[in-house]
Amino acid sequence: MFFQQVINGLTVGSIYALVALGYSMVYGVLQIVNWAHADVMMVGTFIGMTLISMLHVPVVAMIILAAGATALIGMGVERVAYRPIKVNRRMAVLVSALGMSVFLQNLAQLVWGSGSRPLAIIARKTFAAGSVSFTNLQIIITLVTLFMLFVLYVLVYKTKIGVAMRACSTSIENAKLMGINTNLIISATFALGSFIAGIGGVLIGAYYNSVYPTMGYLLGMKAFSAAILGGIGSIPGSVIGGYLIGLIESLGAGYISSNYRDAYSFLVMIIILALRPSGIMGAKRIDKV
């Protein structure tokens, strides 16, 4: 039973990690929380569902197109809800983000209805190894996640745009003085985080075979908790936090009670943050006065 719960936990943890990356990337650059991030992901997932169910687009092309649409929506949210507001006006940014979140939820209900829609991308096959069973979809989710993490690592640490992103995360003002187009880098950060989250949304929709307008709320809360747990602003921390949240949730449901599976991860997060407020890999920020 233990290994079965570990496999299930790693599967959902992969999704949490993909979505948590968007929160950390935006926070790392702008020091704000993009509360509309999960709802941007939700709209992208609905677009993917439409592409495969109504237009019969091949699965790989559907995932790429849905993630691309999610990236464009993420850039639009940054342009409309964040850029016109000065970042240091934290309350205004928070209200704008929450407003965009509600707008996207209502837009999805207007276009696709308020009910749940199925999202089946492949025929499921179950494999067994002793007492442990897993599906081909779980394998795909894990492999896609590892591939996207590798691509993100190369992009952030081995390319010029990645250097510019890291420069902006250190200091926006200093990055401007060095000639970096910070508005372009901020848009690219929103686009990249949303693209990865769009892939995560399609995968979680396929895993549970369900897409609905409020799916971003709980998934977003867990992904944000993963980012906080790992150390928001830290890309490796978000990945570690995502997998920890998934494992804690799965093991708690398997050994204690599945009725409270959503509470276990939040409880552990509170305990860890009480001991280490900056998260597992978060760096302490020192403000000089």
List, in sequence order, every residue forming a beta bridge with 128; answer none if it has no partner.
Answer: 133
Measuring CA to CA, which residue among 145, 262, 143, 135 is closest to residue 207? Answer: 135
Confidence of residue 190 (pLDDT cuts 50, 70, 90): very high
Nearest one of 288, 247, 234, 253 to 23, comparing CA atoms: 234
Could you tell me which residues come within 8 angstroms of residue 249 by beta carbon, excluding any fewer than 6 positions away?
9, 12, 222, 261, 262, 264, 265
> Which residue in the block uniquely carries the two structure tokens 């686009």?
191
The model carries a pTM of 0.90
pLDDT confidence tier of residue 7, bands split at 50, 70 and 90? very high
- Supply the pLDDT for residue 194: 95
Among the listed ranges 187-196, 200-209, 257-266, 276-285, which one has the minimum average pLDDT value? 276-285
For position 86, what pLDDT does the model report? Answer: 66
Alpha-carbon dihedral sign for residues 102, 103, 104, 106:
positive
Mean pLDDT estimate for the chain: 89
Residue 282 has pLDDT above 80, yes or no: no
Residue 284 reports pLDDT greater than 60: no
Residue spans per domain, the chain: 23-121+131-224
Instruction: Supply the pLDDT for residue 92.
Output: 85
pLDDT in the model for residue 289: 43
CB 71 within 8 A of CB 136: no
The rounded distance, in Å, linking the Cα atoms of 130 and 133 is 8
214: Cβ–Cβ under 8 A, 6 or more apart, which residues? 42, 105
On the question of pLDDT at 1 being above 80, the answer is no
Retrieve residue 119's tokens: 């999202």
Q: What's the average model confidence in pLDDT over 191-197?
A: 94
